[in-house]
Structure 1
């Protein structure tokens, strides 16, 4: 009997994952990760982790499996929370959930599981894994979940072959309604429980208040740039190479105060992100204002009216060499190579037609259609069909 440690989160997905593994004949152990102590910044009044760990315990009792709690809050603070503060301070928009899977669930947590004699670690992610042979070598594939509405492969885009080899995703072939149905039939306490919202393990967080623990508020100015601004009408230059053209298409516009008019004040450019609409507290415009750029050096925010404002769109993005990650190492591109893929720049975004262009200093992704709100610090992930083959941090 192979032993599997399931990350029981107190939600319905991981509960059903544990049940399915038992049905398949595995020896199952439930482990709850406690990763957060600070209730001051969570929005809900009740303490989310206490309720969650209690639900996880009740599920383990119902299934008759051993259960324990591990406290990973120190590693979580070090690897996830400090990284978030650092990224926001630099004016970038991190994705803590992607990092949490790479650094916590499939690293720190996985090591604890293996020390308990586990052969595998299982989670309640909506994604699938397959194993094929390439040149006589075992290669693990990360595939989209069968439920198109819930596919979570994007959140696992930074996993390595080593991590995938030890991972199981028992609910990947199911839809959410099917998962709830199984939980109800098994009378699991989590059957009707709402999906958790917000940050991996922390719950819903008031982001500015959360960031204010480290990043001091400082008042700055909000500018509005008109859609008819001169910068959007400039003629495209002649390019001498593909690389030069891609660099041009991926480049951020360098905004300055002369390009717009003052429409309000903010409490710190580092609290905001490209494409953001809520939280600006500027009224009186015909269409809602969207953030088209932030400048943490000058503590300035630039906005434009409406979701079709030209300042929101770019045709390409760049990923630095050290931030390119191939899940499928056998498909790695070398300098000068290109690859047609489907890509997304955020969770839930429908896949977009794109081409990867590899150069010595990194990689460009050029899109068939210009993309809205490409945010530095977020992850771009690329696919062949329903297989996620690589990802990287947008620079």
Structure 2
């Protein structure tokens, strides 16, 4: 019996080539297009209208001679992704919808549909690889980074579980993007030269404030500029009773107040802004551009600093609570007081940085060798051992 694989055909070149390769390898392949979003009123231009994408996906399936159908997951997508996003922004955190989308939609709702259709595996066009090792007589699955360093998407899958990985295939993980396009050309697939989609998973390019305004009402507030020589950055503690106390200090959130700086502008809602953001502040006349160094959604104040090197942007450590800690490799999970040297990143495409994990009773600290810019609550930190992503967590 041929193994049956259901491919999430998105209408892009990566998933098209994934389907093509699986067919070449002798699998029984079925293409499924996920329709997750209906509202075009918030998308900018026609970057990613689902109609064009589903059409391209259908043409690819036709070309490959594989069955094709569309599944409407917009209800689940709204509930699990969009509502979660609104909720996080309201709390002053910045969520990562792409990571959630993989955990909640592609490898959960979608995977269940695929398994109900008798699939042995679900395949996507992600640039990452899957490994299998034996541990105490049990099979353990590894999530490995993609061979194309420029396109590696393992970070987006940092919340997957062993059960999800067991059923997943990543056919293009060993390839470079240029090779994927070449294969698509050779196979005469309509998506061969199609531009990569940008923006929110399944929604496309959106103006975030427009999108968030559907739920979070605009409210006027002030933009405050904090000078580089503010007292917050002058006093540094050097002696600590314990390592945990030091980590608490290094990962602490600065408590700014309006009187710490000067009011330089107005905004329409602190919940529309995120740490490290430069665009959208509309404050001119400064030597260097202003960056958001913090937001206070309770008081509706945005704190900013001049220049990329502003000390308010940098921290050496972050904290993840136990509730938001996730190990792809549960066999490597740390116990309280254990430490582990890893490579870590706090955003997609960030080069991996040397770090040490410190497990404490309430959660875990990630201490970086170098200062990190714009560590943002609500985003995911992912940690690796060489090229294997072994765990992740939501920055608190």
TM-score, normalization by structure 1: 0.99
Distance in 1 of aligned mates of 2:265 and 2:367: 35
Question: Is the aligned partner of 1:77 residue 2:78?
Answer: yes
Q: Which residue of 2 aligns with 1:2?
A: 3
Which secondary structure state, in structure 2, belongs to the residue aligned with residue 158 of structure 1? coil
Which secondary structure state, in structure 2, belongs to the residue aligned with residue 340 of structure 1? strand
Q: Which residue of 1 aligns with 2:326?
A: 325
Distance in 2 of aligned mates of 1:193 and 1:342: 33
Q: Which residue of 2 aligns with 1:313?
A: 314
Question: Is the aligned partner of 1:246 residue 2:247?
Answer: yes
CA-atom RMSD in angstroms: 0.7
Distance in 2 of aligned mates of 1:231 and 1:316: 17
CA pair 26-378 structure 1, distance change in 2 beyond 3 A:
same
Distance in 2 of aligned mates of 1:107 and 1:373: 31
Contact 1:218 1:268 in 2 (8 A): yes
Q: CA deviation at 1:250?
A: 0.3
Distance in 1 of aligned mates of 2:159 and 2:230: 39
Contact 2:250 2:316 in 1 (8 A): yes
Q: Which residue of 2 aligns with 1:156?
A: 157
The superposition leaves residues 53-72 of structure 1 with CA deviations (integer Å, 9 ceiling, x where unpaired) of 00000000000000000000
Q: Which residue of 2 aligns with 1:299?
A: 300
Unmatched runs of 5 consecutive residues or more in structure 2: none
Distance in 2 of aligned mates of 1:345 and 1:235: 24
Distance in 1 of aligned mates of 2:138 and 2:199: 39
Contact 2:47 2:198 in 1 (8 A): no
Question: Is the aligned partner of 1:66 residue 2:67?
Answer: yes
Distance in 1 of aligned mates of 2:46 and 2:13: 22
Contact 1:289 1:305 in 2 (8 A): yes
Q: Which residue of 1 aligns with 2:379?
A: 378
Distance in 1 of aligned mates of 2:6 and 2:78: 23
CA pair 85-57 structure 1, distance change in 2 beyond 3 A:
same
Distance in 2 of aligned mates of 1:322 and 1:253: 24
Contact 2:37 2:74 in 1 (8 A): yes
Q: Which residue of 1 aligns with 2:131?
A: 130
Q: CA deviation at 1:45?
A: 4.0
Q: Which residue of 2 aligns with 1:206?
A: 207
The superposition leaves residues 62-111 of structure 1 with CA deviations (integer Å, 9 ceiling, x where unpaired) of 00000000000000000000000000000000000000000000000000
Q: Which residue of 1 aligns with 2:145?
A: 144
Q: Which residue of 2 aligns with 1:93?
A: 94
Contact 1:39 1:47 in 2 (8 A): no
Distance in 2 of aligned mates of 1:45 and 1:326: 38
Which secondary structure state, in structure 2, belongs to the residue aligned with residue 252 of structure 1? coil
Q: CA deviation at 1:46?
A: 7.2
Q: CA deviation at 1:230?
A: 1.3
Q: Which residue of 2 aligns with 1:284?
A: 285
Q: CA deviation at 1:231?
A: 1.3
CA pair 47-152 structure 1, distance change in 2 beyond 3 A:
closer
The superposition leaves residues 265-305 of structure 1 with CA deviations (integer Å, 9 ceiling, x where unpaired) of 00000000000000100000000000000000000000000
How many matched pairs? 395
Structure 1 stretches of 4+ moved >3 Å: none
Distance in 1 of aligned mates of 2:290 and 2:264: 10
Distance in 1 of aligned mates of 2:79 and 2:281: 30
Q: CA deviation at 1:238?
A: 2.5
